[in-house]
Structure 1
Amino acid sequence: MPKKLLQKFMPKPETLRNNKYLRIFGGLLDKPNLWTLNRKSAPGSFAVGLFVAWLPFPFQMVIAAGMAIFFNVNIPLAVALVWITNPFTMPFMFYAAYILGAKILGHNTAHFNFEASWQWVESSISTVGPPFLLGCIILGAIFAFIGFFVIKSLWKYSILFKWNKRN
């Protein structure tokens, strides 16, 4: 796997260590594997980052960092991947999650009227909430699974390619 390419897009360890929200992890951030990028930490980082990217919660970067610490994978890569959900992609991703959850739960999606207000959120949390959360968790798990095995395979084939090139 092109290590330099991935490292170009990852936040620097110093930036993350000094982040006011990540200071809650304190001494847990001192494990060396959390900051190195290798064939064992990269696939797990992709899985963590892609799963958390689908979670509809604030502070996704903190959640990704906590999960990266728990699973002992690269924090910068996991944190960088949560930015897949951004103001441009979020509506499409979360609508797809709602549609998937509604199909699984057998809910009707034909009469879905969104309003950007707190009253709408409070009134529809019981109808829209369960299918939306279910869809987010399922799509997060699917993308984490795919991301893990794609990166693991790419890394393996990259090593084999370099090995064959040397011979």
Structure 2
Amino acid sequence: MPKQFMKRYLPTPDRVRSIQALHFLGDILHEPNLWHINRHCVARAILIGIFFCLIPMPFQMVAAAFCAIWFNANLPLSVVLVWISNPLTMPPLFYFNYKVGAWLLDRPVMHFQFELSWGWISESLVEIGIPLYFGSLIVATLASCLCYLFIQYLWRRRVRAHWRERQLRRCQREG
């Protein structure tokens, strides 16, 4: 895993602790596992970040941060991964989730024109919302679990490769 890459771009614990808006959290930010870059913390952070980026809800970063704190995952990575669903990627991601939900619920896929009005939202909420959220939960669960397992696999593979390299160097020095 590119540990040095992550260390370079993720904020340091001291920098996050210095943010005045986060002082209401108190000593929670002093938990070392929230800042560690190891296999378990990173894999949990990826699971949390991918899950919440695929759920259509406001304040995704807040939910990801609270889950990262609850499950001792890497906090900055959990929050950063939520930005996979940004204003450019949300429409295709959520439309895919809607289609999966409609398919699983055996409902026809509605062709609709989005309007930003309370009337349209209240009329379409049940027809579109149920398949959207059901599909989002299924896709988010599957994608986050697969990413978790993939990161665990990559991390272990990298560690084994480093062990083999060190063993080869040791054998060359001795022999």
Q: TM-score if structure 2 supplies the norm length? A: 0.87
* In structure 2, C-alpha distance between the alignment counterparts of 1:29 and 1:160, rounded to whole Å: 32
* In structure 2, C-alpha distance between the alignment counterparts of 1:40 and 1:96, rounded to whole Å: 30
* In structure 1, C-alpha distance between the alignment counterparts of 2:41 and 2:102, rounded to whole Å: 35
Deviation at residue 165 of structure 1 after TM alignment: 1.1
Question: Corresponding residue for 1:90?
Answer: 90
Question: Corresponding residue for 2:154?
Answer: 154
Within 5 A, what are the aligned runs for 1:1-167?
1-17=1-17, 18=19, 20=21, 22-167=22-167
* In structure 2, C-alpha distance between the alignment counterparts of 1:23 and 1:147, rounded to whole Å: 32
Aligned-partner SS, 1:126:
helix
Gaps spanning 5+ residues in structure 2: where?
Answer: 168-175
* In structure 1, C-alpha distance between the alignment counterparts of 2:83 and 2:161, rounded to whole Å: 30
Deviation at residue 3 of structure 1 after TM alignment: 0.2
Gaps spanning 5+ residues in structure 1: where?
Answer: none
Deviation at residue 23 of structure 1 after TM alignment: 4.7
Q: Deviations over 1:7-44 (max 9, x none)?
A: 33434434544273x55533222211011111111111
Out of 57-66 and 1-10, give the one that drifted further: 1-10
Contact 1:97 1:139 in 2 (8 A): yes
Contact 1:11 1:80 in 2 (8 A): no
| Cα 1:115–1:51 shift into 2, 3 Å | same
Question: Corresponding residue for 2:171?
Answer: none
Q: Deviations over 1:108-155 (max 9, x none)?
A: 114333223232111111111110011111111011101101111111
Larger Rg: 2
RMSD between aligned residues: 1.7
* In structure 2, C-alpha distance between the alignment counterparts of 1:11 and 1:80, rounded to whole Å: 11
Paired residue total: 166
| Cα 1:104–1:19 shift into 2, 3 Å | farther
* Structure number with higher helix proportion: 2
Q: TM-score if structure 1 supplies the norm length? A: 0.91
Q: Percent identity?
A: 39
Structure number with the bigger relative contact order (C-alpha 8 A, sep ≥ 6) is 1
Q: Which residue identity is paired with 1:104?
A: L
